[in-house]
Structures are given as structure tokens and as C-alpha cells.
């Protein structure tokens, strides 16, 4: 695989761009693999990459029913942060952040990880106390965090509503400087290319339709491209975990819900950070191309349709103007929906399953993108060793039975309220 660099760009420019190679091979399935990862999204591709890179397992296939990166990795609002409160989440997401910081160079693919900082506004002293608690935990775990007062916020993001007519006046904010955004598609492509570089087969347009069993163990999959044997099978199809889980015989605490994302027309630089509104559901950043990328709350009912409803579009627009009155005339260019696996505690699931040979990675709720590298790293470890990586020890499927839930928001077991 030829390395990407400024030099390679120059050389190819001089030869009319004729000498670039495929970013990854168009592989067709072999009869069997040591490991099959179902799902060619960010998590599945990262898992395959780390299986090869960290564990030397190279006889690996990634099966993707559509095209690489066509699911949530390419539909999200690209926010990356590690500002989690609960023991278990804090360390996992910070580990992910560290992997992000080295990702472009590790993959030789520029994922444009932009550590522009994220702030969440607070609208009362009590809310700011809550944020301080979170910031304290972050600092005590070696993670950068700051608490800003109203004037700090005004200096940083003067375009927010600091007027007398603000319905929920800004009191302060929590800020994480190392948080930011990345180019979402590039993450999928970068992992695909790097995994391919380790001889992983990436097989597109290959839908898994069933599982092959030998007594109680899973030993392969049925696909639209035929049967494929596997020593171990890893499931990484967040959004559709239940659909495949049912086929494997898993009982899951997961519901699929739609979260909408929005992008405006491209503008000259306006929003230099990731900004989230603490009084309602709204968060925004500006892509390098200039579009404001934003999102809000779940549509709020089970859905596998990758589209949202107009009521939520309006609510998000209202929150957008409440926070940033200056974008009233900026125009919405596109909105779309992503299908999320929602769990009863809004924390993910990475673990061996009760079914021998089957490993589960799912339940990412609306936070899967930022977890991509750590999820792949830890899932690869879990598959390779058969035991959960210590960083995902809290993400077992049995936690709902035992009561060891990790409910960051305290919203309780109704998945759509998380």
C-alpha cells in the first residue's frame, strides 16, 4: 500500500492522478475466516484493524450489507469529547480521545481531527454546580476540563444570546479544550484502508442473513454472497443490533430510535468550537467546508426509518435561534436521520455473549462516533482473548440483571428518554 503524503500528492499531480491505487481491495469472501466482523462501519472496521494490528489476527473479514461507512459513522454530527462522569465511562472515553489524537498518523489517513474545544452552556447556578462536579471528576482522572463564567463564555463565543430577551440566560459553561470534531467518512475510509493493508478482507454488498451453528456455538454466517465459516463472529451493527441479534437468538435491552442531523449552507467561519445548549437539545459545530452541522433530541419513538419528523426539525430550529440569534437567516440545507441503538442506561454494550463464538458491540445510543477507536480496540481485545478488555468491563450485557447500570443522565430505563 502506497503511503499518503504531500510528496505522493505532488507526484500524482504531475502524472495526472493516474497512479493512485484503490483505497482498499474489492474483496470477495473466502470459505472461512478466523474472525468475521459484521458491520463495515467505524466500529467494525476499527475492530478488524486492531485485531490485525494489536493481536496479529489477520485472517479477518468485515461484512458490510451496503457500502463501507454507509451507516451511522457517515450520518452523525462528528462530535468527539471525553467529558463523562461515571466510573467506567470516564476512562473509556478518555482512552478513545487519546487514540483520536494519534489516529491520522496511525492510519496514514487524515481524519481531520480538529481539537477546537467543546462547551456546554449552563443556565443556573445549580446547573453549573452539576457541570463542576463533572469537570472535577474529569480533572481527577487526568482529563482537561474548565468551568467558565458568563463573561468567559461571552469572550469565547460572543455570538450566543446574551441579551435581555434570552428565555434561559447563560450563566456559564463547562469547556473541554481537547474535544472537537473529525471528518466522519474519513474515519471509516481510513480504518478500511489500514485494515486492508493488514490483509483484512472488506466485503461490501454482503448482507448477513443468518448464523451457522454447530450445536450451541456459532461457526459462521449465511450471507447474500453465500455461507462463510468463522472461528468467531463479532457483531458491530449499531442501529440494527436487534435485527441481527434476533437471528442469533440473543435477547437484548435495545430499542432503535432516530436522531436527526442537520447541515446548513456553507458559510465563512462563524462557529469556532463545538457548542451545546444546556437549556435544551441543540449542539452545533462548523464543518471545514463551512456548513453548520447540528442536532437535537431523538424523534422519540422506535424507528428504523432513516428520516425524521418536521416537529423535531422545528424544535431544533427554535433551540438554534434561542442560543444563536444571528443564524436566523442562515438556511438549512439538508436534514436526515440516523438509527440509534438506545439502551436503558445510555451506555454501550461490548462483551462476549451467552452464545459461544458470538461477540457483541452495540448499544451506542447517540455517542458511538467518538467511541470508534476505543470501541474497536477493546472489542478486538474481547474477541481475541475471549474476555472483556478491562476498559469495557462495565459494558457487559448482564448489568441490567444485576443492577450495575451506568446511567449518566439518570433518565431511567425508558430508552427513548435517555
- Range 112-116 contact pairs with CB under 8 angstroms and sequence separation of 24 or more: 112/181, 112/182, 112/183, 112/186, 112/288, 113/80, 113/180, 113/181, 113/182, 114/180, 114/181, 114/182, 114/288, 115/177, 115/178, 115/179, 115/180, 116/179, 116/180, 116/181, 116/272, 116/273, 116/274, 116/285
Report 19-38 residues binding another protein (CB under 8 A): 20-26
Can residue 43 be called a binding residue for another protein (CB under 8 A)?
no
Minimum distance between the CB of residue 214 and another protein, rounded to whole angstroms? Answer: 26
Can residue 242 be called a binding residue for another protein (CB under 8 A)?
yes
Minimum distance between the CB of residue 275 and another protein, rounded to whole angstroms? Answer: 14
Contact 149, 172 (CB under 8 A): yes
Q: Which of 113, 211, 283, 379: binder of another protein (CB under 8 A)?
A: 113
Q: Of the two residues 55 and 150, which places its CB atom closer to another protein in the complex?
A: 150
Report 310-329 residues binding another protein (CB under 8 A): 310-311, 313-314, 317-322, 325-329
Can residue 130 be called a binding residue for another protein (CB under 8 A)?
yes
Give which of 302, 297, 306 is closest to 418, Cα–Cα.
Answer: 297
Residues in the chain: 418
> How many whole angstroms separate alpha carbon 115 and alpha carbon 97?
10
Mutual angle of helices 368-385 and 184-197, in 10-degree steps: 20
Report 79-108 residues binding another protein (CB under 8 A): 86-87, 90, 101-102, 104-105, 108
Q: Of the two residues 317 and 351, which places its CB atom closer to another protein in the complex?
A: 317
Q: Which of 243, 385, 387, 390: binder of another protein (CB under 8 A)?
A: 243
**Three-class HEC string of 35-47:** EEEECCCHHHHHH
Binding region for another protein (CB under 8 A) out of 37-45, 50-58, 138-146, 354-362: 138-146
CA angle centred on 95, ends 337 and 61, rounded to 5°:
65
Q: Of the two residues 86 and 212, which places its CB atom closer to another protein in the complex?
A: 86
Report 390-409 residues binding another protein (CB under 8 A): 399-405, 407, 409
Report 141-200 residues binding another protein (CB under 8 A): 141-142, 145-147, 159, 163, 165-169, 183, 185-186, 189-190
Q: Of the two residues 14 and 56, which places its CB atom closer to another protein in the complex?
A: 14
Q: Of the two residues 330 and 393, which places its CB atom closer to another protein in the complex?
A: 330
Give which of 83, 81, 180 is closest to 130, Cα–Cα.
Answer: 83
> How many whole angstroms separate alpha carbon 153 and alpha carbon 159?
10
> How many whole angstroms separate alpha carbon 85 and alpha carbon 335?
31
Q: Of the two residues 243 and 385, which places its CB atom closer to another protein in the complex?
A: 243
Amino acid at each position: 500500500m502506497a503511503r499518503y503524503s504531500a510528496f505522493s500528492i505532488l507526484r500524482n499531480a504531475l502524472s495526472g492522478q493516474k497512479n493512485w491505487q484503490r483505497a482498499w481491495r474489492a474483496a470477495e469472501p473466502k470459505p472461512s475466516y478466523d474472525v468475521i466482523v459484521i458491520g463495515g462501519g467505524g466500529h467494525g472496521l476499527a475492530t478488524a484493524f486492531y485485531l490485525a494490528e494489536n493481536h496479529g489476527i489477520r485472517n479477518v473479514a468485515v461484512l458490510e450489507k451496503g457500502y463501507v461507512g454507509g451507516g451511522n459513522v457517515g450520518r452523525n454530527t462528528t462530535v468527539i469529547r471525553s467529558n463523562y462522569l461515571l466510573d467506567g465511562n470516564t476512562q473509556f472515553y478518555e482512552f478513545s480521545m487519546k487514540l483520536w489524537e494519534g489516529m491520522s498518523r496511525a492510519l496514514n489517513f487524515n481524519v481531520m481531527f480538529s481539537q477546537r474545544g467543546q462547551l456546554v452552556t449552563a443556565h443556573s447556578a445549580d446547573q453549573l454546580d452539576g457541570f463542576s462536579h463533572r469537570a472535577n471528576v474529569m480533572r481527577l482522572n487526568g482529563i482537561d476540563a474548565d468551568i467558565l463564567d458568563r463573561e468567559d463564555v461571552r469572550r469565547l463565543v460572543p455570538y450566543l444570546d446574551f441579551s435581555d430577551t434570552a428565555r434561559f440566560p447563560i450563566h456559564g459553561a463547562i469547556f473541554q479544550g481537547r474535544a472537537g470534531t473529525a471528518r466522519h467518512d474519513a474515519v471509516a475510509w481510513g480504518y478500511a484502508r489500514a485494515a486492508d493493508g493488514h490483509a483484512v478482507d472488506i466485503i461490501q454488498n454482503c448482507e448477513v442473513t443468518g448464523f451457522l451453528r454447530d450445536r450451541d456455538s456459532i461457526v459462521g454466517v449465511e450471507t447474500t454472497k453465500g455461507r462463510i465459516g468463522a472461528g468467531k463472529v463479532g457483531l458491530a451493527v449499531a442501529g440494527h443490533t436487534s435485527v441481527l441479534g434476533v437471528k442469533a437468538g440473543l435477547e437484548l435491552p435495545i430499542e432503535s430510535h432516530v436522531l436527526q442531523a442537520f447541515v446548513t449552507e456553507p458559510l465563512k467561519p462563524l462557529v469556532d468550537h463545538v457548542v451545546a445548549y444546556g437549556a435544551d437539545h441543540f449542539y452545533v459545530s462548523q464543518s471545514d467546508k463551512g456548513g453548520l452541522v447540528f442536532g437535537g433530541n431523538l424523534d422519540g419513538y422506535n424507528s428504523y426509518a432513516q428520516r425524521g419528523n418536521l416537529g423535531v426539525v422545528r424544535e431544533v430550529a427554535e433551540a438554534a435561534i434561542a442560543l444563536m440569534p444571528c443564524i436566523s437567516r442562515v438556511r438549512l440545507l439538508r436534514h436526515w436521520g440516523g438509527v440509534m441503538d438506545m439502551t436503558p442506561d445510555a451506555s454501550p454494550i461490548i462483551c462476549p455473549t451467552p452464545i459461544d463464538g458470538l461477540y457483541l458491540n452495540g448499544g451506542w445510543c447517540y455517542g458511538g462516533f467518538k467511541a470508534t477507536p476505543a470501541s474497536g480496540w477493546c472489542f478486538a481485545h474481547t474477541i481475541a482473548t475471549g474476555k472483556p478488555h478491562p476498559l469495557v468491563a462495565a459494558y457487559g450485557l448482564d448489568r441490567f440483571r444485576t443492577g450495575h447500570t451506568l446511567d449518566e443522565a439518570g433518565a431511567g430505563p425508558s430508552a427513548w428518554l435517555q
